[in-house]
Amino acid sequence: MGDVVESDILRHGAFEYIRIHDYSNYSLELFMAYDSVVIESNNRDFVEKLVRSIRTHNHTDVYLKPIFLLKSSKVEDPLINNLIDGVIFSIDQLELISDYVKQILLRIKDFVFVKSISLEAEIISRTINLMVSREKTELFAYLYLNSGLGYIYPEASIQFSPRDEHNLLSILDTAEQEGLFTSDFNDRIYLCTNCETGILSYREVCPKCNSANSKAEDLVHHFSCAYVGPVSDFKNAIDDELNCPKCNKYLNHIGVDYDKPSLLHTCNKCGHKYQDYHVKAKCITCHHDNDVENLLPRTIKNFYLTKKGRNVAYHGFISTSKDFNEIPGTVRFDVFKTMLEYEIERLKQNDATSNIAYLTISNAGELYSRIGIERQKILISEMIRILRKNLRSSDFIAFYSASTLILSLNDIPTKIANNILNDVVKITTMLLKKNFKNVEIHIETFATPLNIEFSHEIQLQQLIKRFETES
> Contact positions toward Zn ion, by CB under 5 A?
192, 194-195, 206, 208-209, 211, 222, 225, 227, 244, 246-247, 267, 269-270, 272, 283, 285-286, 288
* Nearest-approach distance from CB 232 to another protein, in angstroms: 12
> Which of Zn ion, another protein, none is residue 275 near (CB under 5 to 8 Å by kind)?
another protein
> Which of another protein, Zn ion, none is residue 48 near (CB under 5 to 8 Å by kind)?
none
- Residue ranges that bind another protein, judged by CB under 8 A: 207, 219, 221, 223-230, 245-246, 255-257, 259, 261-262, 264, 271-276
Name residues whose C-beta falls within 8 Å of residue 190's C-beta, 6 or more positions apart in sequence: 198, 200, 281, 292, 295, 296, 297, 298
* Nearest-approach distance from CB 228 to Zn ion, in angstroms: 10
* Nearest-approach distance from CB 194 to another protein, in angstroms: 22
Q: Which of 380, 386, 363 is nearest to 326 (CA)?
A: 380
> Which of another protein, Zn ion, none is residue 2 near (CB under 5 to 8 Å by kind)?
none
> Which of Zn ion, another protein, none is residue 194 near (CB under 5 to 8 Å by kind)?
Zn ion
Phi, psi of 31 (to 5 degrees): -65, -25
Phi, psi of 434 (to 5 degrees): -65, -35
> Which of Zn ion, another protein, none is residue 273 near (CB under 5 to 8 Å by kind)?
another protein
* Nearest-approach distance from CB 245 to another protein, in angstroms: 8
Q: 2 or 271: whose CB is closer to another protein? A: 271
Q: Which of 380, 414, 413 is nearest to 397 (CA)?
A: 380
HSE at residue 194, side-chain half, CA atoms within 13 A, is 13
The Cα 23–Cα 21 span in angstroms is: 5
- The answer to whether 243 and 234 are in contact (CB under 8 A) is yes
SS (H, E, C) 151-197: EECHHHHCCCCHHHCHHHHHHHHHHHHCCCEEEEEEEEEEECCCCCC
* Nearest-approach distance from CB 256 to Zn ion, in angstroms: 13
> Which of another protein, Zn ion, none is residue 1 near (CB under 5 to 8 Å by kind)?
none
Q: 219 or 296: whose CB is closer to another protein? A: 219
The Cα 181–Cα 179 span in angstroms is: 6
Q: 277 or 304: whose CB is closer to another protein? A: 277
Q: 88 or 228: whose CB is closer to another protein? A: 228
- The answer to whether 301 and 239 are in contact (CB under 8 A) is no
Q: Which of 359, 404, 311 is nearest to 119 (CA)?
A: 404
* Nearest-approach distance from CB 277 to another protein, in angstroms: 12
